[in-house]
Structure 1
Amino acid sequence: MKFTAIIVIAPEELEDKVIRHAQQVGATGVTILSGKGIGGESRKTFFGLTFEGTQSVLLMVVGKHLTAPILKELHGILVRGTDSRGLAFAVPIEHLTGIDPHQVQSFEEHLRRGED
């Protein structure tokens, strides 16, 4: 079975929405990290200080067949017209250990049913 790591970097306030939508499409587990981000254009706040937004970094390991549907679903949350509120990308996983056998079984059943 082939797996992909999906990494999402989004504002903290979108964290629950991103997780909910990814799970609706088939993601099962999510690892959540906190971070700070500075975009291409820094925002100034009081006294000329630079604004650093709080970001959530979400890591998901999914079956390769779920990659495109999840990214497509997240696009609707992260992109509004020409405004980007976050970033999502996928990286193929060459080797993997430690994944829950029940999760592998779920992926395999999903493939047998022919779901995309």
Structure 2
Amino acid sequence: MKFVVVVAITPEELEEEAVQRAQAEGAAGVTVLAGKGLSAEARRTFFGLTFEGSQSVLVMVVARHVAMGILKGMRELLVREGDSRGLAFSLPVEHIAGLDMEQVLAFDKRLQGKEG
């Protein structure tokens, strides 16, 4: 079975909805990290204070065939009216340790039952 890492960077206020969408599309587990977004644009200030948006970074290791559904769900959540509020991408995994393959195969069978 081939695996990929799906990474989604979302505004903090969309974190919970992003996790729910990822799990609905087949992510068994999601690691959530706190982040701070800095863009190439000038930082906005409010009364002389710099505003830097808080972001959540979601990291998931999933079977390759599950990744596209998660990415589509993230696109629906993050892109509204031509404005992007985040980023999601996947990377191939060459080697992996720490997964119980029996659990992975059982989860894959449940997904196949859900689809068919």
Q: If the TM-score is normalised by the length of the shorter chain, which range does it land in?
A: 0.7 to 0.9
- May I ask how many residue pairs the two structures share in their alignment? 115
TM-score, normalised via structure 2 length: 0.88
Match of residue 47 from structure 2: 46
Q: 1:81 to 1:60 in 2, by over 3 A?
A: same
Secondary structure (helix, strand or coil) at the match of 1:60 reads: strand
Per-residue CA shift, 1:2-50, capped at 9, x if unaligned? 0010001111110000000111111110001101111232222221x32
Q: Tell me which moved more, 3-12 or 35-44.
A: 35-44
CA RMSD of aligned residues (A): 2.0
Gaps in structure 2 of 5+ consecutive residues: none
Gaps of 5+ in 1: none
Question: Which range is displaced more, 101-110 or 58-67?
Answer: 101-110
Alpha-carbon separation, structure 2, partners of 1:114 and 1:16: 23
User: How far off its partner does 1:100 sit?
Assistant: 3.1
Q: For the residues of structure 1 that align with 2:81 and 2:92, how far apart are their CA atoms?
A: 28
**1:87 alignment counterpart:** 87
- Alignment-derived partner of residue 61 in structure 1: 61
Q: Cα distance 1:100–1:75, how it changes in 2: closer, same or farther (>3 A)?
A: same
